[in-house]
Amino acid sequence: MRYMPTIDKEYIAEFMKPTKMNIEVGDKAHFKIMGSHQQGEKGLYSLPVLYNKTEGNFPLNKTNTRIIVSVLGNNSDNWVDSEFDAVVIPVNNPQTGATVSGWMIKKDSFKNQKSIK
Protein backbone atom coordinates (compact mmCIF):
# COMPACT_ATOMS: atom_id res chain seq x y z
CA MET A 1 0.00 0.00 0.00
CA ARG A 2 2.98 2.33 0.33
CA TYR A 3 2.83 3.34 -3.35
CA MET A 4 -0.76 4.55 -3.28
CA PRO A 5 -1.55 8.27 -3.24
CA THR A 6 -2.60 9.90 0.03
CA ILE A 7 -6.34 10.33 0.46
CA ASP A 8 -7.96 12.95 2.70
CA LYS A 9 -9.96 11.32 5.48
CA GLU A 10 -13.36 12.52 4.32
CA TYR A 11 -16.67 10.80 4.94
CA ILE A 12 -16.41 7.22 3.80
CA ALA A 13 -19.57 5.30 3.00
CA GLU A 14 -20.25 1.97 4.61
CA PHE A 15 -18.41 -1.10 3.37
CA MET A 16 -20.28 -3.23 0.84
CA LYS A 17 -20.60 -6.44 2.83
CA PRO A 18 -22.10 -9.50 1.10
CA THR A 19 -24.44 -10.21 4.02
CA LYS A 20 -25.89 -6.68 3.87
CA MET A 21 -26.33 -7.06 0.10
CA ASN A 22 -28.12 -10.44 0.37
CA ILE A 23 -25.34 -12.14 -1.57
CA GLU A 24 -24.35 -15.61 -0.42
CA VAL A 25 -21.13 -17.63 -0.44
CA GLY A 26 -20.36 -18.72 -4.02
CA ASP A 27 -22.30 -15.85 -5.62
CA LYS A 28 -20.57 -13.37 -7.94
CA ALA A 29 -21.03 -9.59 -8.12
CA HIS A 30 -19.83 -7.02 -10.67
CA PHE A 31 -18.30 -3.69 -9.58
CA LYS A 32 -17.07 -0.52 -11.28
CA ILE A 33 -14.30 1.49 -9.59
CA MET A 34 -15.42 5.11 -9.10
CA GLY A 35 -12.38 6.66 -7.41
CA SER A 36 -8.97 6.16 -5.80
CA HIS A 37 -8.60 4.07 -2.67
CA GLN A 38 -9.70 5.49 0.68
CA GLN A 39 -8.48 4.96 4.24
CA GLY A 40 -10.94 5.15 7.10
CA GLU A 41 -10.37 6.29 10.66
CA LYS A 42 -9.64 2.71 11.78
CA GLY A 43 -6.90 2.43 9.14
CA LEU A 44 -8.95 0.11 6.91
CA TYR A 45 -8.67 0.63 3.16
CA SER A 46 -11.56 0.62 0.72
CA LEU A 47 -12.32 1.42 -2.88
CA PRO A 48 -15.30 3.56 -3.99
CA VAL A 49 -17.35 1.37 -6.34
CA LEU A 50 -20.67 1.15 -8.11
CA TYR A 51 -22.75 -2.02 -7.80
CA ASN A 52 -26.20 -2.21 -9.43
CA LYS A 53 -26.55 1.59 -9.42
CA THR A 54 -25.58 1.70 -5.73
CA GLU A 55 -22.41 3.48 -4.61
CA GLY A 56 -20.41 2.12 -1.71
CA ASN A 57 -16.97 1.06 -0.62
CA PHE A 58 -15.41 -2.26 -1.52
CA PRO A 59 -13.20 -3.40 1.39
CA LEU A 60 -9.54 -3.89 0.44
CA ASN A 61 -7.72 -6.66 2.24
CA LYS A 62 -4.12 -7.59 1.37
CA THR A 63 -5.12 -10.34 -1.06
CA ASN A 64 -7.57 -8.24 -3.07
CA THR A 65 -5.17 -5.29 -3.11
CA ARG A 66 -2.40 -7.50 -4.49
CA ILE A 67 -4.74 -8.77 -7.22
CA ILE A 68 -5.71 -5.23 -8.26
CA VAL A 69 -2.10 -4.00 -8.19
CA SER A 70 -0.95 -6.95 -10.32
CA VAL A 71 -3.47 -5.98 -13.02
CA LEU A 72 -3.77 -2.19 -12.73
CA GLY A 73 -0.52 -1.07 -11.13
CA ASN A 74 0.37 0.63 -7.82
CA ASN A 75 -1.34 3.99 -8.34
CA SER A 76 -5.04 3.77 -7.44
CA ASP A 77 -5.76 6.91 -9.50
CA ASN A 78 -5.26 4.64 -12.54
CA TRP A 79 -7.88 2.16 -11.31
CA VAL A 80 -10.83 4.51 -11.87
CA ASP A 81 -13.44 3.26 -14.41
CA SER A 82 -12.08 -0.29 -14.36
CA GLU A 83 -14.60 -3.05 -13.70
CA PHE A 84 -14.19 -6.39 -11.97
CA ASP A 85 -16.10 -9.36 -10.58
CA ALA A 86 -15.77 -10.63 -7.04
CA VAL A 87 -16.98 -13.90 -5.54
CA VAL A 88 -18.25 -14.26 -1.99
CA ILE A 89 -16.10 -16.63 0.07
CA PRO A 90 -15.87 -17.52 3.76
CA VAL A 91 -13.09 -15.51 5.42
CA ASN A 92 -11.69 -15.13 8.93
CA ASN A 93 -12.45 -11.80 10.61
CA PRO A 94 -9.07 -10.90 12.21
CA GLN A 95 -10.74 -8.70 14.84
CA THR A 96 -13.19 -11.32 16.13
CA GLY A 97 -11.82 -14.64 14.86
CA ALA A 98 -15.26 -15.46 13.45
CA THR A 99 -15.82 -16.83 9.95
CA VAL A 100 -17.76 -14.29 7.88
CA SER A 101 -18.62 -13.71 4.23
CA GLY A 102 -16.01 -11.74 2.32
CA TRP A 103 -14.95 -10.87 -1.22
CA MET A 104 -12.35 -12.47 -3.48
CA ILE A 105 -11.66 -10.50 -6.66
CA LYS A 106 -11.45 -12.62 -9.81
CA LYS A 107 -8.17 -11.54 -11.42
CA ASP A 108 -9.28 -12.51 -14.93
CA SER A 109 -12.46 -10.42 -14.72
CA PHE A 110 -11.03 -6.89 -15.09
CA LYS A 111 -12.54 -4.75 -17.85
CA ASN A 112 -11.54 -1.28 -19.07
CA GLN A 113 -8.22 -1.50 -17.28
CA LYS A 114 -5.41 0.80 -18.26
CA SER A 115 -2.03 -0.71 -19.05
CA ILE A 116 0.41 -0.78 -16.15
CA LYS A 117 3.38 -0.56 -18.49
All structural domains of the chain with their residue ranges: 28-109
103 class by beta-carbon count within 10 Å (0-12 exposed, 13-18 middle, 19+ buried)? buried
**Cβ-based burial of 95 (10 A; exposed 0-12, middle 13-18, buried ≥19):** exposed
Each of the 117 residues of the chain gets a pLDDT tens digit; together they read: 444 444 444 444 578 999 888 899 999 999 999 999 988 877 889 999 999 989 999 999 999 999 999 999 999 999 999 999 999 999 988 889 999 999 999 999 998 766 454
pLDDT for the residue numbered 19: 87
pTM (global) more than 0.85? no
Backbone φ and ψ for 43, nearest 5 degrees, come out as 85, 5
